[in-house]
Structure formats: structure tokens, C-alpha cells
Amino acid sequence: MTIVTVRMPVDMIESMKRIAPLRGFSGYQPLLKHYVSEGLRKDEAEFIFSASGRLIDALKKQGISEKALEEAAKEAGISA
């Protein structure tokens, strides 16, 4: 584990403090870790582990510009 400092709006922290016990968490920090983990797993599945994600990584290594990749992904209906 490592310590990370993140600045967040007070109202967001207050909302997490209210929601945490309703979702079965002991406090807002475990809930925040859960939210980050869920978002990361979703992005990993979409961008890293998917065939399109691996293709995009390969094209980046070949020097294809971000703009070209974004335009091609948009045209193909996938996320770049």
C-alpha cells in the first residue's frame, strides 16, 4: 500500500460519508477505494485487455497519432 493525497470537493466527501454505511462500508475512504477500483477494472477491461485496446496500443507503438486513433475509433464506434 502507498499513501495518496487527493483534493476533492467537501460536498463529495460528505456525500460519500452518508453513502458508505448504506453500501456496507465502514467509512468514506473504503468506499472511495471501491469506486476507484471499479473504475480501474472497467477501464482495464475496455482498454487493456480487449482486442481493440491491444490494437490501439500496438498502433501507438507504430507512431500513429492520438488524433488519428481517436478519429478512427470514433468512426468504428469504439473507445480509443
Residue 9 has pLDDT above 70, yes or no: yes
45-72 confidence digits (pLDDT tens): 877 778 787 888 889 999 999 899 888 8
> What region, left, alpha or beta, does residue 65 occupy, with left being phi > 0 and alpha being psi -120 to 50 degrees?
beta
C-alpha cell at 42: 472497467
Calpha distance 39→78 (Å, rounded): 18
* pTM, 2 dp: 0.62
Burial (CB < 10 A; 0-12, 13-18, 19+), residue 49, is exposed
C-alpha cell at 52: 481493440
20-50 confidence digits (pLDDT tens): 999 999 999 999 999 999 999 998 887 777 8
Confidence band (pLDDT; 50, 70, 90) for 18?
very high
